[in-house]
């Protein structure tokens, strides 16, 4: 068990206290509602899906102002979240450590350790903070649910579909390639 987990996850913590914590390269730490949340590193299938999505987004965004990032800290109000992938469009919102503000698109890949947090807590945090789209990838059933927050709608895409973004008119992602 990590000393960090024993010492810090049982009590509320301010953003200032969170920023003073020692780094633990083996785990990802987030600050949600003044509580430190720790998640283990993802499995191989998670990495494959993340890499495929990253490649598709990186290719699409080439030459555009927006860029895709993997596991970059995002500050939303008093919370520090670390989405699997995020599309960030405002270069003025970067600090040395993180991005300060809502991404255009956030992507979370479900795992047993993060399932509840991604489906409920983060969904609400992202929506309230102004994220435009939230993609929830379910590797188990090979499907992606996209919440189009600006349009107050959602859609589910399966491995045989092409995911369509509403943030970027011509962004279409073949999910067959993502889940291969």
What are the C-alpha distances in Å from 102 to residues 3, 72, 76, 129?
A: 31, 12, 6, 6
33-80 pLDDT, tens digit each: 767 766 767 778 889 999 999 999 999 999 999 999 999 999 999 999
Q: Which residue has the higher pLDDT, 24 or 107?
A: 107
CB-based contact 126:102 (threshold 8 Å): yes
pLDDT at site 24: 64
Sheet hosting strand 153-158, strand order edge to edge = 67-70, 85-88, 105-109, 133-138, 143-148, 153-158
Are 127 and 108 found together in one domain?
yes
Q: Using 50, 70 and 90 to split pLDDT, how confident is the model at 1?
A: very low
Mean pLDDT on 120-130? 95
pLDDT at site 9: 53
Are 32 and 47 found together in one domain?
no
Q: Which residue has the higher pLDDT, 23 or 140?
A: 140
Q: Does the structure show a pLDDT above 60 at 6?
A: no
Mean pLDDT on 147-169? 96
Q: Round the average pLDDT of the chain to a whole number and report it.
A: 87
Are 19 and 52 found together in one domain?
no
Are 35 and 48 found together in one domain?
no
Are 157 and 124 found together in one domain?
yes
Closest CA to 79 of 13, 150, 11, 2: 13
pLDDT at site 26: 62
Q: Does the structure show a pLDDT above 90 at 117?
A: no
Q: Using 50, 70 and 90 to split pLDDT, how confident is the model at 30?
A: low
16-30, 47-61, 67-81, 162-176: the lowest-pLDDT one: 16-30
Provide the residue range defining the domain that includes 69. 42-179
pLDDT at site 7: 42
pLDDT at site 53: 98
Q: Which residue has the higher pLDDT, 45 or 160?
A: 160
Supply the CATH number for residue 82's domain. 3.90.1570.10
Total count of domains within the chain: 2
């Amino acid at each position: 068990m990590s000393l960090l987990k024993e010492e810090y996850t049982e009590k509320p913590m301010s953003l200032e206290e969170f920023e003073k914590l020692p780094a633990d390269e083996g785990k990802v730490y987030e600050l949600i509602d003044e509580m430190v949340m720790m998640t283990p590193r993802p499995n191989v299938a998670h990495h494959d899906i993340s890499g495929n999505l990253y490649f598709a987004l990186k290719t699409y965004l080439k030459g555009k102002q927006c860029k895709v990032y993997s596991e970059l800290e995002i500050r939303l109000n008093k919370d520090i979240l670390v989405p699997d992938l995020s599309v960030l469009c405002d270069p003025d919102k970067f600090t040395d450590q993180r991005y300060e503000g809502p991404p255009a698109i956030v992507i979370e890949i479900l795992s047993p350790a993060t399932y509840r947090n991604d489906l409920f807590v983060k969904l609400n945090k992202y929506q309230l903070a102004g994220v435009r789209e939230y993609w929830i990838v379910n590797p188990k059933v090979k499907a992606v649910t996209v919440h189009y927050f600006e349009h107050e709608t959602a859609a589910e895409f399966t491995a045989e579909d092409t995911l369509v973004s509403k943030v970027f008119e011509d962004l279409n992602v073949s999910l067959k390639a993502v889940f291969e």
